[in-house]
Chains A and B, each alone.
Chain A
Amino acid sequence: QSVLTQPPSASGTPGQRVTISCSGSSSNIGNNFIYWFQQFPGTAPKVVIYRNNQRPSGVPDRFSGSKSGTSASLAISGLRSEDEADYYCASWDDSLSGKVFGGGTKVTVL
């Protein structure tokens, strides 16, 4: 059971907007930065959003992050086939004194 809660799957057709939620508590998302990682099978994760809503250089502006209270979300607009991957949210947890991850969301492009 992950500390951060994500839906196991999400899907959309090319060009659509897909949103992935990440729910936590005041000890993690509510009081710390949220990060989003993209992972393709057999490869290392890659950060697509850091500090809640910042995009690293090289990440398309189709990816956006937001946070409100103890929840966060990752939105992928203009969905493309190459966006099909697993996405994980992560944050620091003050009570656990460590980082916590969501269980991951598999995004499928129909």
Chain B
Amino acid sequence: QKEVEQNSGPLSVPEGAIASLNCTYSDRGSQSFFWYRQYSGKSPELIMSIYSNGDKEDGRFTAQLNKASQYVSLLIRDSQPSDSATYLCAVNRGSTLGRLYFGRGTQLTVWP
């Protein structure tokens, strides 16, 4: 079982819609959860972090965490073409200090 799994996509949504990106993780000891955005040809950019169960909102982005289900998601409201990118989920592991485990990413396309 992989440490972090994401729907590979691609996910395609119209402009203005809500894009929902999902991620599951295997280690129940995980405490830190992150979403990175990676534009084509660029490096991963940290856009959201979440540490407690529930929702965390930042502008059009909402991260949701459910530790009981080992599930973390990212919602993008009012999606824009500029949101088109690959989104990487990253999780720490309770037994390993410092390191993050990354999913393969979900490619999102927002069409006008």
Binding partners A and B: no
Residues of B within 8 A of A (CB): none
Residues of A within 8 A of B (CB): none
